[in-house]
Structure 1
Amino acid sequence: MSSGKVLLGVLAGIAAGALVGTLLAPEKGSDTRKKLLSKGDDYLDEIKDQFNELLGSLKNKFEEKSEEAQEAYGKGKTKFNEAKNEFKNSMAEL
């Protein structure tokens, strides 16, 4: 299981636990709603931060693989051109 899925599951569990705990607490409804909104905002901010971190990580990996692909392409092109020139030279000698 990927770490992203595990993290999302943990965050969902924490949010569900906080929601149930807040709903069962003996307080006024308006106080409970304020707490829920506050906690919801906190969790949303945390999820946004985690999502941005994940996007940054994916972007870095994509850039690394893109650079590797460009290097491989350049090496392959060079070898192809060398082989083509070698073939042309051997044909010219015939």
Structure 2
Amino acid sequence: MKNNNLAAGILGGLAIGTVLGILFAPAKGCETRKKIADKSSDLADSFKDSSGKWTEKIAQTISHLKKDFEQLFGNASDILKAEIANTDNLRSINKPTI
């Protein structure tokens, strides 16, 4: 969660700094608007790339967690079956004979 906040803060700061830098630079209005549009497009592309990487990382993490859970559940299931079999064996051994 901290990485997401850090990345968002960096991107936000970069965007604000870029816009302020362009606005205070001596240029004609049409040139300034073009620069802002170009930088906005660049930032949007950068954000798309970053979000794609984040999405991929999250998908990988979910996949690993799913595999770990399935393995853990499978092991627990095997242990439970073995314990049930042991209990049944103990019951059959300890049955009173009348």
Runs (5+) with no aligned partner, structure 1: none
- 1:58 aligned residue: 58
Alignment pair present for 1:10 and 2:19: no
Shift of 1:3: 1.7
Runs (5+) with no aligned partner, structure 2: none
* Identity across matched positions, percent: 24
Runs of 4 or more above 3 Å deviation? none
Question: What is the CA–CA distance in structure 2 between the aligned matches of 1:42 and 1:7, rounded to whole Å?
Answer: 16
Higher Rg = 2
- 2:81 aligned residue: 81
Q: CA RMSD in A?
A: 1.1
- 2:68 aligned residue: 68
- 1:35 aligned residue: 35
State the structure with bigger RCO (CA 8 A, min sep 6), 1 or 2.
Answer: 1
Shift of 1:39: 0.2
Letter in 2 for 1:31: E
TM-score, scaled to structure 1: 0.94
Aligned length: 94
Structure-to-structure mapping, 1:15-30, within 5 angstroms: 15-30=15-30
CA deviation vs aligned residue, 1:37-88 (integer Å, no higher than 9, x gap): 0000000100111111111111111110110000000000000000001111
